[in-house]
Each structure stands twice: as structure tokens, then as C-alpha cells.
Amino acid sequence: MDKRILDISDIDPIVISIGRTTFPPGFTSTSNAGLTDHDIQLVYKGSGVVVVDGVEYFLEKGDVITVFPQESFYVKTTSNSPFGRYHIHFDFTRIKTKRTLSPTLLDGTLWPRLVHLEDDLEARSLCTDIILHKLEDSLPSKIIMNGKFSAFLGLLLDRHLSPSAQRTRQNLKSRRNVMLAREHIKASYAKDITLKELADIAGLSTNYFGRMFKAHIGVSPRHYIIETRLNQAKRMLLGSDKNISEIARLVGYDNICYFSSEFRKREGISPTEFIARLIEEGE
């Protein structure tokens, strides 16, 4: 057995610290390099990204991610809403010489990196109780706190081992790949982006990628590209002195007539009317 692996019979978890943090839109934290303990994070609000040793994990409400000792991580938000998470630093055992070890399950697999809870009410309640008992800081409260955390780990393990968990893990993987493609759109919306290009980034076939993108994002890739371009165009119309032709070109439209047509189709008015309305409202 790998010397880094803890025997499952030695699991006796102890909480080191716990907190609850909400990150504003557009936030990126500093890197937490080389953890000396384990860190488990439950998303209770919004969506965001936790980057572990350079690998991005796109998380939404109900997702739980575990960061292991010696791994670095940081957090960033990618949406227009806040990203809220509970974070618990802990060890799987009280045995000092084994505290940096991580358990293997009975089937030989490692403790899961990512678990999704369809109903996270019980998990959030346990995290709240752990925080309250941590603040109380008495011997009985420490015993109760660690018992609550054991229940939290049991909840994750039960979900991970449930018959539907494999399908959930596949869904999480496809969502992560779709989010990589979405980030590419946000960074390169002004370019001519093809469906195949996005599918290649996601590591999926073109047809399957299209279905998964709509399932996770709510619109087709083409619709999302247009939305991204027009949202950026509206920002430019609001906050720059560039003319409509320049803005159309900067967001990816060489043909101003086509740009105006797409703008009217989604906003109900032309770019010129949009500017005129802004002027009227500002007077």
C-alpha cells in the first residue's frame, strides 16, 4: 500500500478550523500553496472555480471538493453572482504521525475529490453546527463538533457510494469540460469560434458537446457567443466614445448591418435607439 494512504480503520477525524466565505463577482484569491492539512469546501451559494495544483474545478451550489495535503489551491469567481462556500481544515486521524495521510476506500479507490449533493440542506446544517461549536471552544463542544464533522464525512461517503453516483460524476466531468469551453468563449468572443473548436477544448464530440452545453448553460453555444458579444457591445455603448461600427468590429462583427440586426433581435431596439434612450434617461 502507498505509504501516503491511511487505512480506513484509522479514520477518526478532527477539525482544525472552519469558516464561511462569500467571494464577490470577479474575485481571485491568492494561492494557498502546499497545504499541511486537508481542506474540504461545500458550496452553499452561486458558482465559482477552485483551482487545485493548476486544475480548474467549476463548482456550483451543492458541490463539495477536497484539497489534500501538499496541494496548492486558489479560488476565483466567474459569474455575475457571489460565490459562497464553507471551508473546513481537518485531518482524517488524530494519530500525529499519520495526519497528512488520506484514506482509501474498501474498493481501493482514494477519498473522492468531488461530490455533488442534490440536497445540501443537511450538509449546510452540519457545517453551521460545527462553526457554532468551534466558537464555543469547550471540551464538550469539541467532542460534539468532531462528531458533527464525522456525520458530514459520512454524508459525503454515502452519496459517493450511492448507485446514482457514477452518473453524477460523469455529469460533473462533462460540466467541467463545458465550463472550460465557456471560459474560452468569454476570452475569445470577438474571434470566429467554431463548434468543433469548442468541442475539442471540452474533449467531447461535436454533437454531444452541443447537447451538454445547452444542458449546463441553458442556451446553445452559438446563442451564448452572441449573448456574450452583445453584452460586451452594450458595455461599450455605455462606457466608451467609440462609434457603432467600431464597437461592432471589436465584438466580432465585420458587417454592421448584421450586428444591428442581431442587436435588435435580442434587445428589441437598434444600437442607435439604445444610445438615444440612454441619452434621454440621463437628461
**pLDDT band at 7, cuts 50/70/90?**
confident
- The yes-or-no verdict on residue 25 having pLDDT over 50 is yes
pLDDT of residue 165: 60
Element (H or E) spanning 215, and its range? helix 206-217
Question: Cell numbers at residue 34, please?
Answer: 502546499
pLDDT of residue 169: 62
- The yes-or-no verdict on residue 16 having pLDDT over 60 is yes
Three-point CA angle 149, 175, 181, nearest 5° = 135
**pLDDT band at 132, cuts 50/70/90?**
very high
pLDDT in tens, 78-106: 767 789 999 999 999 998 888 889 998 87
pTM to 2 decimal places: 0.66
143 compared with 106, residue with greater pLDDT = 143
- The yes-or-no verdict on residue 2 having pLDDT over 50 is no
As a whole number of Å, the CA-based R_g of the chain is: 23
- The yes-or-no verdict on residue 3 having pLDDT over 70 is no
pLDDT of residue 261: 92
- CA dist., res. 252 & res. 225, Å (int): 10
Sign of the dihedral through C-alpha 198, 204, 206, 211: negative
Q: How much is the average pLDDT of 253-278?
A: 89
- The yes-or-no verdict on residue 114 having pLDDT over 60 is yes
DSSP E strands: which ranges in the chain? 5-6, 14-23, 38-45, 47-52, 55-60, 63-67, 73-76, 83-91, 102-103, 114-116
Question: Cell numbers at residue 42, please?
Answer: 461545500
Q: How many helices (H) and strands (E) does the chain have?
A: 9, 10
pLDDT in tens, 193-225: 999 999 998 888 888 888 888 877 888 999 999
107-130 per-residue burial string, b: 16 or more CB within 10 A, e: under 16 = eeeebbebbbbeebeebbebbebb
165-185 per-residue burial string, b: 16 or more CB within 10 A, e: under 16 = eeebbeebebbbbbbebbebb
Q: Going by DSSP bridges, is the β-strand pair 47-52/55-60 parallel, antiparallel, or unpaired?
A: antiparallel
Task: Specify the range with the lowest mean pLDDT, choosing from 37-46, 158-167, 190-199, 274-283.
Answer: 274-283
56 compared with 74, residue with greater pLDDT = 74
Average pLDDT over the chain, rounded to whole?
87
Q: Going by DSSP bridges, is the β-strand pair 38-45/14-23 parallel, antiparallel, or unpaired?
A: unpaired
- CA dist., res. 253 & res. 230, Å (int): 10
Q: pLDDT over 70 for what percent of the chain?
A: 92
Please report, as a single letter, which amino acid is at residue 252.
Answer: G
Three-class SS of residue 275?
helix
Q: pLDDT over 90 for what percent of the chain?
A: 50
Question: Cell numbers at residue 116, please?
Answer: 455533488
Looking at the DSSP assignment, which residues form a beta bridge with residue 48? 59
pLDDT in tens, 226-246: 999 999 999 898 888 889 999
